[in-house]
Amino acid sequence: MRRTPALSLTLSLTLLLAATASAARFDGESWWNIVKVLADDANEGRDTGSRGERAADDYVVARLRALGVRAAGSDGYFQPVEFTTRSIDEAASSIALVRHGRAAPVALGEDAVFTTRMPLAAAVEARLVFVGYGIEIDKLHYSDLKGSDLRGKIAVFITGSPADVPSALSAHAQARDERWQALRAAGAIGMISIQNPASMEKPWAATVLNRLHPSMALAAPEFSATAGCRFAASWNPAHAVALFAGSGHDFDTLVALATERKALPHFALPGRLRARAAVSSAAVSSRNIVAALDGSDPALKSSFVVLSAHIDHIGIGEPVAGDRIYNGAMDNGSGSALLLEVARVLAASPQKPRRSVLFVWVTGEEKGLLGSQYFATHPTVAASALIADINVDMFLPIIPLRLVTVYGLGESDLGERVTAVATRLGLAVQPDPLPLHNVFIRSDQYNFVRRGIPSLMLDVGAAPGSPEAATLVSWRRNRYHAPSDDTNQPVDLAAAAGFEELVTALVEEIANDPVAPHWKADSAFRAFAQAPGAP
Ligand SMILES: [Zn+2]
């Protein structure tokens, strides 16, 4: 029987689709199986320097060995990283607001929490000054600090920035070290951060649940960018009214202005803050994992495209619904597993990328991007050989993949490259849809940016206001940094596979192009490439 032309066309289309499907390099399934290993209860939430993190590290290294992807750390596949912990004994600590000679105690946990990521003096008493957003951006001639007398005082600010500050620059100015350097230069001895409730992803109670867990800092003295700080706290915005009482300014009005990204006033707050902090410390060791797939081009192989993901999570903490293990399946078992899958596919590919690819699993991300800071400062290959970083952190394949969110999209020509690759794969891209959430500085790519290396982070995206966006928001509210970020949650394996293909194709695109990525002329981060320091 002869086929009609129409049938024939249908059949050819079917065959074509089948051929495309059989050529797919990822199925999502093998990725999820790796996530299941990394996020297993046996790994106890992979806290930095913990037994569980070491077990996850050893698993990654065993896979790399089996794949034939070579070691590129300073100690085989590893790069040791040393930390100092800081823990607060709340029962022996206190904060009080002193007004008219009376000290009103602040309820720790409920009203405010000490920020143990910053150094805390045993005893502090100081005046308070509200400094708006508390940021300084030389490039835009913007300063919240000039004109206020901050000498010996504690700066109080609401997170965010005015509308005319581009989101990446806004995120940079609000980075912990960056902000502290500006406050310290203005004479401040401490800071109180009040998060704008409009940019809070989780309720206050959930964010402070594990505040007694030790925080960490890199042990080497070269990393002490927070020196000079004597007091740091985060204040519950729902209880900030008392802080502003008697100042002539209403906190809710300030929040409304900040939400619209309007200018904020600057003024002294009445009274003084009195604090006692009982802090203990200990030494902890962990390690980054570094592996390399050598490039195929004799001239280009000495340069590296970095693919990074943090392997640590937050460990065992306060129970939520009876579960104490914070498995970190999406955060960031997902990215860690993706790197292994990309390594598997590229190692087996008949056409190796022309440049080399460096796979870096960093530790200490949850402690403040510390492992990546260490690696970017002391790379295990020549610093000048690192031409780009693509970072993957909690990419959330829990909705169908049609749109990709690209952090840093407008900053370098990596933006055009990822757009071209995505278009080829039938995907659309969008810039950071929630610039107030500071995602650009909240993962490891930021430390590469600070060393002048063009970088991007990619996530599965959703159009603002869409039902998919609501799914992502609800995930962040309920599962982010909670024990329920485990492998019992729903996942879209097709979305994961599509995302793996996108990242792989992007890495190949960069690695095969003899022209290295570069910052845009108008990017604030270009200055880092010219003189590592500040834009
Ligand atoms: Zn996290």
DSSP state of 373: H
Do 157 and 228 lie in one domain? The reply is yes
pLDDT on residue 531: 66
Asked if residue 178 belongs to a domain, the reply is yes
Q: Binning pLDDT at 50, 70 and 90, where does residue 436 land? A: low
CA of 330 to the centre of ligand 1 (A): 9
CA of 366 to the centre of ligand 1 (A): 5
The percentage of residues in the chain with a pLDDT greater than 90, rounded to a whole number, is: 85
Asked if residue 245 belongs to a domain, the reply is yes
The per-residue pLDDT for range 150-204, each reduced to its tens digit, is 999 999 999 999 999 887 788 889 988 899 999 999 999 999 999 999 988 889 9
pLDDT of 356 higher than 70: yes
CATH number, residue 165 = 3.50.30.30
Asked if residue 408 belongs to a domain, the reply is no
Identify which has the larger pLDDT, 1 or 41: 41
Nearest to 506 by CA among 455, 447, 464, 465: 455
Do 30 and 118 lie in one domain? The reply is no
pLDDT of 23 higher than 90: no
Identify which has the larger pLDDT, 317 or 22: 317
CA of 437 to the centre of ligand 1 (A): 14
Q: Binning pLDDT at 50, 70 and 90, where does residue 437 land? A: confident
CA of 343 to the centre of ligand 1 (A): 23
CA of 368 to the centre of ligand 1 (A): 10
pLDDT on residue 7: 43
CA of 310 to the centre of ligand 1 (A): 9
CA of 491 to the centre of ligand 1 (A): 18
pLDDT of 22 higher than 50: no
- Cβ neighbours for 522, distance < 8 A, ≥ 6 positions apart: none
CA of 259 to the centre of ligand 1 (A): 24
The C-alpha R_g of the chain, in whole angstroms, comes to 24
CATH number, residue 358 = 3.40.630.10
CA of 523 to the centre of ligand 1 (A): 27
pLDDT on residue 530: 76
CA of 516 to the centre of ligand 1 (A): 31
**What is the largest distance, in Å, between two alpha-carbon atoms of the chain?**
101
The percentage of residues in the chain with a pLDDT greater than 70, rounded to a whole number, is: 94
Q: For residues 441 and 177, is the Cβ–Cβ distance under 8 A? A: no
CA of 312 to the centre of ligand 1 (A): 9
> What is the torsional sign of CA 395, 398, 404, 405?
negative
CA of 481 to the centre of ligand 1 (A): 6
CA of 345 to the centre of ligand 1 (A): 27
pLDDT on residue 48: 98
CA of 39 to the centre of ligand 1 (A): 13
CA of 168 to the centre of ligand 1 (A): 20
CA of 38 to the centre of ligand 1 (A): 15
pLDDT of 93 higher than 50: yes
Do 325 and 374 lie in one domain? The reply is yes
CA of 385 to the centre of ligand 1 (A): 29
Using alpha carbons only, give the angle 304, 218, 380 rounded to the nearest 5 degrees. Answer: 20
CA of 295 to the centre of ligand 1 (A): 32
pLDDT of 526 higher than 80: yes
CA of 502 to the centre of ligand 1 (A): 23
Do 352 and 379 lie in one domain? The reply is yes
Asked if residue 7 belongs to a domain, the reply is no
d(CA 37, CA 337): 9
CA of 302 to the centre of ligand 1 (A): 33
CA of 154 to the centre of ligand 1 (A): 29
Mean pLDDT of 220-226: 91
Mean pLDDT of 369-380: 97
**Last residue of one domain, picked from the residues 246, 277, 308:** 277
CA of 332 to the centre of ligand 1 (A): 7
The per-residue pLDDT for range 493-507, each reduced to its tens digit, is 999 999 999 999 999
CA of 351 to the centre of ligand 1 (A): 35
Q: Binning pLDDT at 50, 70 and 90, where does residue 129 land? A: very high
Mean pLDDT of 359-375: 97
pLDDT on residue 522: 86
Asked if residue 190 belongs to a domain, the reply is yes
Mean pLDDT of 513-530: 89
CA of 313 to the centre of ligand 1 (A): 6
Domain count, the chain: 2
The per-residue pLDDT for range 62-88, each reduced to its tens digit, is 999 999 999 999 999 999 999 999 999
Asked if residue 375 belongs to a domain, the reply is yes
Identify which has the larger pLDDT, 214 or 533: 214
**Last residue of one domain, picked from the residues 260, 277, 294:** 277
Long-range pairs of 5-14 with CB within 8 A, sequence gap ≥ 24 = none
Asked if residue 18 belongs to a domain, the reply is no
The whole domain housing 336 covers 26-84+285-394+435-456+468-488+495-530
191 Rama sector, left if φ>0, alpha if ψ -120 to 50, beta otherwise: beta
pLDDT on residue 11: 46
Do 96 and 73 lie in one domain? The reply is no
CA of 482 to the centre of ligand 1 (A): 10
3-state SS record for 471-519? HHHHHHHHCCCCCCCCCCCCCCHHHHHHHHHHHHHHHHHHHHCCCCCCE
pLDDT of 47 higher than 90: yes
| The pTM of the whole model exceeds 0.85 | yes
Do 360 and 258 lie in one domain? The reply is no
pLDDT on residue 532: 52
pLDDT on residue 15: 43
Do 122 and 166 lie in one domain? The reply is yes
pLDDT on residue 98: 97
Asked if residue 423 belongs to a domain, the reply is no
Q: For residues 216 and 210, is the Cβ–Cβ distance under 8 A? A: no
The per-residue pLDDT for range 385-424, each reduced to its tens digit, is 999 999 999 999 999 999 999 999 999 999 999 999 999 9
Do 124 and 249 lie in one domain? The reply is yes
Do 355 and 451 lie in one domain? The reply is yes
Mean pLDDT estimate for the chain:
93
**Last residue of one domain, picked from the residues 277, 299, 326:** 277
Do 178 and 262 lie in one domain? The reply is yes
Do 293 and 195 lie in one domain? The reply is no
Distances (CA, A) of 368 to 26, 216, 310, 412: 32, 8, 11, 24
Do 236 and 266 lie in one domain? The reply is yes
